[in-house]
């Protein structure tokens, strides 16, 4: 690992990506969790709208450095997660219709929706993801690139979904504007992302795994998501707090509530067993905390359902 700034470029952000205010304060510095560079990235918080955003940020033209091939190859089909996503759509759109997924990855979710009779389209920045979607699932309508670059084919959609994608988008207002234009009058937008105002984020602070600098350009909360939708005459109809699509990344081991020394494990096998056991213990101990967070409507992961006004 090295401080390899030659592999990517940074941009100083003058204005907040949400409200365009130029006033903000430093929040967290953190290293790349994938250890592709030693450079420390920074999140700041807007004084006007409270959006948390990366500043300086990685130039979108060079951010692909942080999405190396194995980043996408690690994604495996998880039938349970796909079923949860399907249920969310079904519970909020009471008919089979048209769906577009932004960040369609390998096409697993689109394939399942297509099997259920939906007309589907996808937008994906990973060439490997697009190729996989077409070759394995024969999904024809996948746009390679950014959503705002997609050629409008006149299709109006009943639902647009962004599963864990919004934080990776550097131009959120333009993205929501595009989606608002291609949703029909009763269309829904469904966004799942981490909640920067949630209890897990406040506990873990800069060590929270969902910060995922520098791949995350912005970190969202229910209030900033509401403001984002309002930029295009939309509103939040429903907020669901949960931990079943992505865990809330509360790692008790990191903040010493559970602490053992890796140094006593000289064997790689024993070290792996030790790390696996700690991970399981952490998840077990955090279940009550995550339950309370959801009960207080302040969980670490959230899904919002938005609609047009």
Indicate if 55 and 99 belong to the same structural domain.
no
What pLDDT, on a 0 to 100 scale, did the predictor assign at position 168? 95
Note whether residue 252 is domain-resident.
no
Residue 253: pLDDT over 70: no
Note whether residue 15 is domain-resident.
yes
Note whether residue 177 is domain-resident.
yes
Rounded Cα distance, 91 and 115, in Å: 18
Structure tokens at 163: 């599963």
Alpha carbon 230 to chain centroid, angstroms: 20
Indicate if 231 and 126 belong to the same structural domain.
yes
Higher local confidence (pLDDT), 223 or 209 = 223
Residue 52: pLDDT over 60: yes
Indicate if 152 and 183 belong to the same structural domain.
yes
Residue 251: pLDDT over 70: no
* pTM higher than the cut 0.85: yes
Residue 233 has a CB neighbour count (10 Å cut-off) of: 10
CATH number for the domain that contains residue 132: 3.40.50.150
Confidence of residue 70 (pLDDT cuts 50, 70, 90): low
What pLDDT, on a 0 to 100 scale, did the predictor assign at position 258? 43
Mean pLDDT of 210-239: 96
Residue 121: pLDDT over 50: yes
Residue 6 has a CB neighbour count (10 Å cut-off) of: 7
Note whether residue 216 is domain-resident.
no
Q: What strands lie across the sheet with 98-102, from one edge to the other?
A: 142-144, 119-124, 98-102, 157-163, 183-194, 301-308, 234-242
**Strand duo 98-102 + 157-163: pairing:** parallel
- In terms of Cβ atoms closer than 10 Å to its own Cβ (0-12, 13-18, 19+), residue 212 is buried
Residue 189: pLDDT over 70: yes
Residue 182: pLDDT over 60: yes
Least confident of 143-157, 165-179, 284-298: 284-298
Last residue of a domain, one of 71, 95, 112: 71
Q: Are 207 and 175 in contact (CB under 8 A)?
A: no
Average predicted confidence (pLDDT) for the chain = 87
Q: Compute the Cα dihedral for 128, 132, 133, 135 and give only its sign.
A: positive
- Highest mean pLDDT range out of 5-9, 10-14, 220-224, 260-264? 220-224
Least confident of 70-84, 154-168, 174-188: 70-84
Rounded Cα distance, 301 and 64, in Å: 25
| Domain count across the chain | 2
- In terms of Cβ atoms closer than 10 Å to its own Cβ (0-12, 13-18, 19+), residue 117 is exposed
Buried-state track 44-65, b at ≥16 Cβ within 10 A, e below 16: bbbeebbbbbbbebbeeeebee
Q: Where are the alpha helices (DSSP H) in 36-164?
A: 69-73, 79-92, 108-115, 127-137
What pLDDT, on a 0 to 100 scale, did the predictor assign at position 269? 75
The whole domain housing 139 covers 77-205+222-244+298-308
Note whether residue 50 is domain-resident.
yes
What pLDDT, on a 0 to 100 scale, did the predictor assign at position 254? 55
| pLDDT one-digit tens code per residue, 3-49 | 666 789 999 988 999 999 999 999 999 999 888 999 999 999 999 99
Instruction: Report the SS3 class of residue 1.
Output: coil
Note whether residue 291 is domain-resident.
no
Does the N-terminal peptide bond of residue 56 adopt cis geometry, omega within 30 degrees of 0? yes
Q: Compute the Cα dihedral for 159, 175, 71, 139 and give only its sign.
A: positive
Residue 221: pLDDT over 60: yes
Note whether residue 256 is domain-resident.
no
Note whether residue 118 is domain-resident.
yes
Indicate if 228 and 82 belong to the same structural domain.
yes
Last residue of a domain, one of 71, 93, 112: 71
DSSP letter (8 states) at residue 152: P
Confidence of residue 268 (pLDDT cuts 50, 70, 90): confident
Instruction: Report the SS3 class of residue 122.
Output: strand
């Amino acid at each position: 690992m090295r401080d390899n700034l030659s592999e990517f470029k940074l941009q100083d952000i003058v204005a907040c990506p949400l409200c365009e205010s130029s006033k903000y304060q430093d929040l967290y510095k953190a290293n790349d969790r994938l250890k592709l560079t030693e450079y420390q990235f920074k999140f700041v918080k807007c004084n006007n709208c409270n959006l948390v955003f990366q500043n300086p940020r990685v130039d979108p033209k060079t951010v692909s450095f942080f999405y190396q091939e194995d980043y996408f190859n690690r994604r495996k089909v998880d039938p349970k997660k796909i079923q949860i996503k399907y249920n969310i759509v079904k519970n909020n759109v009471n008919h089979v219709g048209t769906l577009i997924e932004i960040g369609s990855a390998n096409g697993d979710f689109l394939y399942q929706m297509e099997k259920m009779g939906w007309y589907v389209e996808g937008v994906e920045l990973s060439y490997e993801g697009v190729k996989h979607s077409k070759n394995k699932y024969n999904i024809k309508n996948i746009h390679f690139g950014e959503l705002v670059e997609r050629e409008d084919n006149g299709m109006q959609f009943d639902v647009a979904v962004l599963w864990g994608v919004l934080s990776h988008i550097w131009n959120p207002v333009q993205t929501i504007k595009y989606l608002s234009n291609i949703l029909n009058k009763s269309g829904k937008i469904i966004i799942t992302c981490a909640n920067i105002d949630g209890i897990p984020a406040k506990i873990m602070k800069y060590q929270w795994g969902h910060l995922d600098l520098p791949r995350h350009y912005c970190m969202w909360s229910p209030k900033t998501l509401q403001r984002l939708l309002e930029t295009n005459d939309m509103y939040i109809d429903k907020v669901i707090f949960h931990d079943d699509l992505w865990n809330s990344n509360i790692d008790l081991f990191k903040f010493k509530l559970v602490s053992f020394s890796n140094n006593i494990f000289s064997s790689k096998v024993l070290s792996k067993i030790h790390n696996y056991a700690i991970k399981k213990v952490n998840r077990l101990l955090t279940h009550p905390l995550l339950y309370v967070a959801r009960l207080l409507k302040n969980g670490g992961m959230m899904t919002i359902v938005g609609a047009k006004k």
